[in-house]
Amino acid sequence: MNDLVKPAPKVLEIGDDAAGQRLDNFLQKVLKGAPKSLIYRIIRSGEVRVNKGRAKPDTRLAVDDRVRVPPVEVEVQRANPVAAGAVRAGEGFPVLLEDDSLLAINKPAGVAVHGGSGLRFGVIEALRAARPQARFLELVHRLDRDTSGILLLAKRRPFLVALHELLREGRIDKRYYALVKGVWPHEAKHHIVESLASYVTQGGERRVSQATHEGAREAHSVVSVAKRYAEATLLEVTIKTGRTHQIRVHLASAGHPILGDDKYGDFEANRQAAKAGLKRMFLHAARISFLRPDNGERVRIEAVLTAECEAYLGTLSRYARPA
């Protein structure tokens, strides 16, 4: 059953942790669970004030700004079981590394990194609820809901900004394991450089495809074989760019979709894999490494394959090289 919470009117003073944020993003954190439509409405109606004046959703906040937040009704929904487990001392998300600036967790498959698209609760909301004393906690990057593995979060805004710059410059090495249908034909490292563009299906679902039109963005994946099986291939994929669904679309377009991928995969191959125990998409963020922007030290984080993925690999027959 849902609860209704009525926040009291308040004037919030912006500190270092919130400086530089857009007004709409700031309000999303203050009014937890509020839909974006409500946030845009109260901004445009003038109910939200910055330094006693009207503001726009993209207004950048500065230190010592005073933001008036009106009383609104926010529907707070119960977390799903996995997220609720995370709220209880964070036990649902194993911590791989943590210090004053960085938090790295091992995200399970089936959990969105943030609320939205009908979801009120995701990893970031669960972690904030589990750490009410944290002054700042933001996603550094994202993983698809059905992808498991390493997820980075920043605990200080300057560190977040610096990591985003490293991502834009391609200086964070991110490697994934993907189990694909069939025998991957390349022995050496294979580069896939194909531009991608998103679109919306007639059913309202967001998809991505390879494209050449003006709005498409170049995507670069480097693929090598980790292990061969008779009917599938375990690939290690390094992404040089971070486009939405990049690995999934690149591998599917190469004729070797990821097993368990319900958007770009092979229906029959997925059905057979599910019968053998694979109930998820076999895509796992296995390793991240980079030089810390604050002290120059090398960070290397690894997350082993999940038990479900390892168990499914155990069902596959070994690859026999052709004579």
Q: Please identify every residue annotated as catalytic.
A: 144
The burial of 8, by beta-carbon neighbours within 10 Å (0-12 exposed, 13-18 middle, 19 or more buried), is given as: exposed
- Contact predicate 197/213, CB 8 Å: yes
Residue 206, amino acid: R
Cβ partners under 8 Å of residue 116, min gap 6:
122
Closest among 35, 112, 39 to 76, alpha carbons compared: 35
Closest among 34, 36, 47 to 4, alpha carbons compared: 34
In the DSSP assignment, the letter for residue 71 is -
Distance of alpha carbon 251 from alpha carbon 178, whole angstroms: 9
